[in-house]
Structure 1
Amino acid sequence: MPTPEQLAAQQRMNDERRAVRELGFARLARPRRPAGTLAGPVMPLSAVPILQCCDLDRTIAFYEFLGFASDQLPGYVIAVAGDAEIHVSETGTVLDPGACFLHVSDVSTPHTALADRNTKQLSAIEQSGRPGRGIQSFTVKDPDGNEIRLAGPWR
């Protein structure tokens, strides 16, 4: 027989899954741990990618166009939009570009804005699932080849 704490935890998990499905992020739900698995010693509050760039000013202009505000430090920038945060380090040469996944509420608006700007390395919008229960996404590469994937609900 489950304890009240276990029942409450199960109800919270079910509520989270329902909310995720309603937003159209059914495939983006958090992974499950096997029963009885304890959490590790690190309980992250968030994860932030650190991308590389050759020219910090050019990179700042790109992310500010996407709607990020930037806080510049010597050779480093922190770009923030809503709850999303991307860090970029100026390395001089980018030999191995990185990647970042951004959850957005609408993919059409940023895709249109980037297309109107004649942004190179912009993919078409892809759909996975079905309207109301799936996601739409596209990728764009920043000026240094870092891949940014934007995904949101397929309404």
Structure 2
Amino acid sequence: MMITAATPLLNVAEINRSIGFYRFLGFEVVVRTLSDLDDEPVWAMLQAGDGDSKIRLMLAVHGGVSHEERRMRPSFAGLVWYLESDDVAGMFDALNDAGFKPEPVTELEDGTHQFFVRDPDGYEIAVTGPNGYAVG
């Protein structure tokens, strides 16, 4: 028996805003659940890639509670989600052009390039891969 996939669930304040952010990282909505009250999404499954390289992410409304408020709870656990890309520089440009203000790309000792960016709810995303503009 072995684990064959991992799908994180992120609690977010506004699913549509988060979907917009994750589209810049290559994710698309594959299914969503709408509220009975106002037809707004309360849960969504996103997916990037195809074939054997599918990556999934779930987003759920957390009662409109902000990330800052959740951080004050004893159950809060920080998260840095590392995503690999074959075009770090292109991903950086797309996020920067969209106003998400990623941190500069740095080159690690092994030649890998990476940068960090926060999604609309404050979750930290690291984008890493073989190419990019090394600023550091």
Normalised to the residue count of structure 1, the TM-score between the two structures is 0.64
SS in structure 2 of the partner of residue 85 of structure 1: strand
CA contact (8 A) 1:77 1:89 kept: yes
* Residue ranges of structure 2 left out of the alignment (5+ in a row): 35-41, 72-77
Number of positions where the alignment pairs a residue of Structure 1 with one of Structure 2:
110
Match of 1:114 in 2: 95
Determine the C-alpha separation between the residues in 2 that align with 1:116 and 1:98.
25
Task: Return the alpha-carbon distance in structure 2 between the equivalents of residues 154 and 56 of structure 1.
Answer: 31
Match of 2:5, SS? coil
Return the match for 2:56 from 56, 70, 85.
Answer: 85
Identical columns (%): 30
- Greater share of residues in helix: 1
The 3-state SS of whatever aligns with 1:66 is coil
What stretches of structure 1 of length at least 5 have no aligned partner? Answer: 1-41
Q: How far is 1:81 from its partner?
A: 0.8
Residue in structure 2 matched with residue 60 of structure 1 by the alignment = 19
TM-score by length of 2: 0.72
Mapped to 2, the partners of 1:90 and 1:99 lie a distance apart of 20
Contact 2:43 2:60 in 1 (8 A): yes
Asked if 1:123 corresponds to 2:103, the answer is yes
How large is the Cα RMSD of the aligned pairs? 1.9
Aligned twin of 1:51: 10
Write out per-residue CA displacement over residues 109-152 of structure 1, whole angstroms, 9 at most, x where no aligned residue: 010111112213x111011125xxx2111111111001111110
Report 1:17-32 matches (<5 A). none
Task: Note if contact 1:100-1:148 (Cα within 8 Å) is conserved in structure 2.
Answer: yes
User: 1:154 Cα shift?
Assistant: 4.1
